[in-house]
Structure 1
């Protein structure tokens, strides 16, 4: 997997060494020799991952990392701190700054490439989401990246798969201060438990009795219910080969025994933050997609969705031969409601009107706001008589129960006229069906309103 790697180091020989290693593996390499230049590269979107030296004059690597992770437009970039420091306190400081991992000098080539490929793969998952989520700003959601980047990574639900009770208890004690921890000592039940629960992350020991911990990690990464859940491996120093294999399989992170309590907490928090970041972007995308086909006032489908749905009804061979009817509803003298009681009252009437229509239609029926106070109901697998009965039930419900306005302090009587049409053999498009329903609606208005009129066959 190719990617653009930003290498940041104030020493030119170190810079060239990493650049050469990565270039030989077909990565595109960008370099910077100080913090401000590195931040400029990140802000311009010129890299996919950052390899960041810690010990630099002026702005050190911790501060650079903190600024990258604290800026909404760059918070998604994976940062690997590259340092000669190898104390738990140094790793903790970097993780607190938001670093995704550490590489200790002299850098092991296998570890370097495994970590870069793993983080690039994870970043690729969120990149498309980020692009789509930015469109949600057009629908008034604000900046989804800022909201996602503000995530703390605390109060998460964590599953620990460890069959050594003493080790499991130590993990639960360390994480329990910040998260809700579930211990699963039976590795055979771990996948089912993870699938049934809503966990923010899983910690899996590779040294399980009678079970390949790496295979368990692989299963968690492949199942639909757990695919987006971060997985952290617990490994012994002699498990280096399996750690590299796990990263290739898509496992998110690892911890080496003996486990430092603070590093455990920091790494889990990093994974939870990343998972919630992606989840926030997915929700933003989903919300914008829903708004693209939803009327903001009534919550019904909008004209765009209606046109697409009707086009499918007339275009798909499996649907062309099946009956379909259409109701076109229009509130009688709606303008007078706005004029007498105000547009806020008119909006209240429209929302209630939409709710009453929904209450008298089926889940398979499509209810859409056609424009103004007009609403269309598409009734599949229903002939003219059946559609007329549906329309009459709606008309009666509208007429017999007054509409509350001004937040329930007043009420107003409302009636509706409805035109009904059903698809005919000669119809070539939805426009033919809509025209007949509109003609029937016009007749209902002309005949005195508050009535249902069916189009002639």
Structure 2
């Protein structure tokens, strides 16, 4: 995933070094030499992440960060502070100022790229949620932004997963402001989080006989804990696995020995962010008019999709980003209605929509296109990613029969056509047409398959 990165530092050598590292990874880089210049750029440009030096004349990085987070227009912009300061109090001050993360100079390339990737992924998800709110035109997004200031991070519900009980109890003691449970049997993690309402999981990288990344992955594959923030507690030797974890979507990590104030600051940041995301999701769900939702499946309807596609395609073309669109058609659906009745057909549509939502990503938008046709809009998605999602959906439908009532289970398959935004002259109509052509080829080719259509 590419992104526009703003580097803010008053020392040109530092700027050039960071710019070279990021450009080599295909990030688009903008630079600023002062806090005032950085604020102006963030106000006027579409920035995805700010790499912010702390020690600058006139306005230091802490003040710049506070101003960015106080401005509704830049409130969601991730800020990664980079500085020569190495005191824990400085890291805590940066996090309290609103920074999303903090690195000390000299910057380790691996840590830098892992942090940037993680924060860019967070920004992409936040942007998509905000875009959906704006599309509905009934979300008071300004009120939702202002609500962030009133969200408290105290009294959180935290789960510590650590086979070393003494270490876990010491961490528990650091978090006296929260309700903290300890789990020393990682195999029970999925059962522990079920229905418990946890807002954060702290997972040790030193689990006896257990892979901490596997434990984290299992937590994330369960519907009710899919969005649960996870912080890993890692030793210096764990760096390669930490980088892998961040690529897999783990939210943060803290190095051992764990420092009390830094842990408290990181925990507060993740809980506050989680509570805000939950509130924003609830706001989007509760205020979206019935006019843009499909009553049977609960998905957005064609009217909503048409408007949102127009917005997202324009954004993708303007920023030269990938985007994919897939149209799905349930195979032989007419026979379901004819042989089993429309009540069973409706049950199939509801179950299909539920499986579809479970097998796409958080940034993807699923809609009912009409009848037995569905469509999924996938921002920042290239061919490989689109194929992985489409195949996962297809398999989710075919591998397990549909339990839809007293009748025997039904075998249901789906044909999928996929098109990608490959040209600045693409229109919503042409993109839909190409995906529809691919779908038609999947139908003619024997159904239960995914076909891509090139521009």
TM range (shorter): 0.5 to 0.7
Alignment check: 8 A CA contact 2:133 2:141 kept:
no
Classify 1:207/1:175 alpha carbon distance in 2 versus 1 (closer, same or farther; 3 Å).
same
What are the within-5 Å matches in structure 2 for residues 49-448 of structure 1? 49-135=49-135, 138=138, 143-177=143-177, 179-290=178-289, 292=291, 317=334
Moved more, 258-267 or 37-46: 37-46
Alignment check: 8 A CA contact 1:200 1:230 kept:
yes
Q: Show the counterpart of 2:28.
A: 28
2:238 is paired with a residue whose SS is helix
Residue ranges of structure 2 left out of the alignment (5+ in a row): 294-299, 305-332, 344-455
2:285 is paired with a residue whose SS is helix
Distance 2:217 2:59 in 1: 40
Distance 2:205 2:77 in 1: 28
Classify 1:227/1:323 alpha carbon distance in 2 versus 1 (closer, same or farther; 3 Å).
closer
Cα drift, residue 145 of structure 1: 2.0
2:30 is paired with a residue whose SS is strand
- Length-normalised TM-score, structure 1: 0.63
Distance 1:244 1:6 in 2: 22
2:276 is paired with a residue whose SS is helix
Distance 2:139 2:254 in 1: 42
Alignment check: 8 A CA contact 2:62 2:94 kept:
yes
Cα drift, residue 135 of structure 1: 4.8
Classify 1:105/1:142 alpha carbon distance in 2 versus 1 (closer, same or farther; 3 Å).
closer
From the CA coordinates, give the structure whose radius of gyration is larger.
1
Distance 1:166 1:228 in 2: 28
What is the aligned-residue RMSD (CA, Å)? 3.2
Distance 2:275 2:173 in 1: 23
Alignment check: 8 A CA contact 1:203 1:234 kept:
yes
Cα drift, residue 319 of structure 1: 5.8
Q: Show the counterpart of 1:18.
A: 18
1:211 is paired with a residue whose SS is coil
Per-residue CA shift, 1:223-247, capped at 9, x if unaligned? 3222211100001122111211111
2:175 is paired with a residue whose SS is helix
Distance 2:290 2:44 in 1: 31
Cα drift, residue 105 of structure 1: 1.1
Alignment check: 8 A CA contact 2:79 2:99 kept:
yes
Does residue 48 of structure 2 align to residue 41 of structure 1?
Answer: no
Cα drift, residue 156 of structure 1: 1.5
Cα drift, residue 289 of structure 1: 2.1
Classify 1:5/1:264 alpha carbon distance in 2 versus 1 (closer, same or farther; 3 Å).
same
2:225 is paired with a residue whose SS is coil
Cα drift, residue 39 of structure 1: 1.4
Structure 1 residue runs of 4 or more that deviate by more than 3 Å after TM superposition:
134-142, 290-294, 316-324
Alignment check: 8 A CA contact 1:136 1:284 kept:
no
Cα drift, residue 144 of structure 1: 1.9
Cα drift, residue 149 of structure 1: 4.9
- Length-normalised TM-score, structure 2: 0.63
Classify 1:74/1:83 alpha carbon distance in 2 versus 1 (closer, same or farther; 3 Å).
same
Per-residue CA shift, 1:323-344, capped at 9, x if unaligned? 99xxxxxxxxxxxxxxxxxxxx
Distance 1:141 1:108 in 2: 37
Per-residue CA shift, 1:13-57, capped at 9, x if unaligned? 111111111111100011111112211222234210110001001
